[in-house]
Amino acid sequence: MSRNALGLWTMGVLSLVLVFGVPAIVETFALIDFTLFIAMAILSLSLAFVWGFGGILCFGQSAFFGLGAYTYAVAVINMGESTVPILLGILLPVILALVLGYFMFYGRVSDVYLAVITLAVSLVFYYLIGASAGEEYKIGSARLGGYNGMPSVPPINVPGNPSAAVEYEALYVPAAVLLAVVYFGLRALLASDFGRVLVSIRENEARTELLGYDARRIKTVALAIGAGIAGLSGVLFCAWGAYVSPTVFSLVFTAQIIMWILVGGLGTLTGAILGCVLIQYLATWLGETKIADVNIVLGAIFVAIVLLVPSGFVPMFARLGDTLMRRRGEAGS
């Protein structure tokens, strides 16, 4: 069996365990924590796709995430039913990404300049929503609340039935299913012609264009797909905590997302999930035990990875595994 097929089967089995096995054995409290990790893992996947495969260094992934969360909050408070708000929470970030992508890629902005623009967009949201503290800042009946955020956001409900709320531990299974759908969806996308061309743009943009592919359009679409997934993650996050505040747009949050990807390894989807869960878990654990300041530990890891394991952990272990398999193969023959 090829490594790719092996990986696919492994991930298939793992996602079944995640959806059906975990809820059966884990306590309710832990399940609620896991739901948050899953929402974040979806966000991590969105940047892993855009940055790791599209080569687009987006420092504004939190803008799409936050926009998704706020859109959901505002819409569900006004509508009282969650189906349309969820879709809006995906749609608005996609529209933002299409506008931004048109703005940046068609203007041939790249690399670090692209990072600055996306970061600036994220901070525009941070300041604007942060300044919305007064009574007068309302969208329909939803008060934006400035830096205090929006509390008491209604939970997701069974489509068409607002009284059947899917909250607390009940949110776990839908979230896990969504994670699996996003993961396998992205894998399929990357295996398609679109995915191949996207990766080829990352490898050699000039050559791809000389072959007749429109890199600007393809990168815009990739950014939009990433934005939609980030928006979905934002919706889950907001529904999970019944709360959202402008910190989702902050620099610190953006740094975290980038770190998840770096830990897991750029250019792998599995790594993005692992890196996210690992760092989240570590941060939570440090916060509870107070052994050391979270920033010191995360910062040191961040630096160490860039300097010592620049490819991230998953590709490193994959290489180790390959070497071991080959050794065993040689020993057997």
> Would you tell me which residues interact with other proteins (CB under 8 A)?
57, 103-104, 107-113, 115-117, 119-121, 123-124, 127-128, 130-131, 193, 196-197, 200, 203-204, 206-216, 250-252, 255, 258-259, 262, 292-307, 310
- Closest contact distance (angstroms) between CB of 296 and other proteins is 3
Coil vs helix vs strand at 154: coil
Q: Cβ(90)–Cβ(235) under 8 Å?
A: yes
Q: How many other C-beta atoms can be found within 10 angstroms of the C-beta atom of residue 159? A: 13
- Closest contact distance (angstroms) between CB of 104 and other proteins is 7
What's the Cα-to-Cα distance from 89 to each of 74, 93, 260, 307, rounded to whole Å? 10, 7, 23, 37
Bridge partners of residue 143, in order along the sequence? 138
Q: How many other C-beta atoms can be found within 10 angstroms of the C-beta atom of residue 294? A: 15
Name the residue nearer to other proteins (CB basis): 168 or 194.
194
CA 14: distance to chain centroid?
A: 19
- Closest contact distance (angstroms) between CB of 303 and other proteins is 4
CA distance 313 to 203: 22
Name the residue nearer to other proteins (CB basis): 106 or 281.
106
- Closest contact distance (angstroms) between CB of 234 and other proteins is 21
CB neighbour burial string for 239-278, b if at least 16 within 10 angstroms, e if fewer:
bbbebbbbebbbeebbebbbbbbbbbbbbbbbbbbbbbbb
Which tokens go with 110?
A: 């790249």
- Closest contact distance (angstroms) between CB of 321 and other proteins is 19
Q: Cβ(219)–Cβ(54) under 8 Å?
A: yes
Name the residue nearer to other proteins (CB basis): 79 or 98.
98
Name the residue nearer to other proteins (CB basis): 83 or 200.
200
Name the residue nearer to other proteins (CB basis): 26 or 301.
301
- Closest contact distance (angstroms) between CB of 326 and other proteins is 17
Q: How many other C-beta atoms can be found within 10 angstroms of the C-beta atom of residue 218? A: 21
* DSSP structural state of residue 155: P
- Closest contact distance (angstroms) between CB of 181 and other proteins is 26
Which residues have CB under 8 Å from 231's CB, separation 6+?
Answer: 64, 65, 67, 68, 71, 89, 90, 91, 92, 93, 94
CA distance 280 to 205: 35
- Closest contact distance (angstroms) between CB of 112 and other proteins is 6
Name the residue nearer to other proteins (CB basis): 188 or 296.
296
Name the residue nearer to other proteins (CB basis): 157 or 280.
280
Name the residue nearer to other proteins (CB basis): 290 or 329.
290
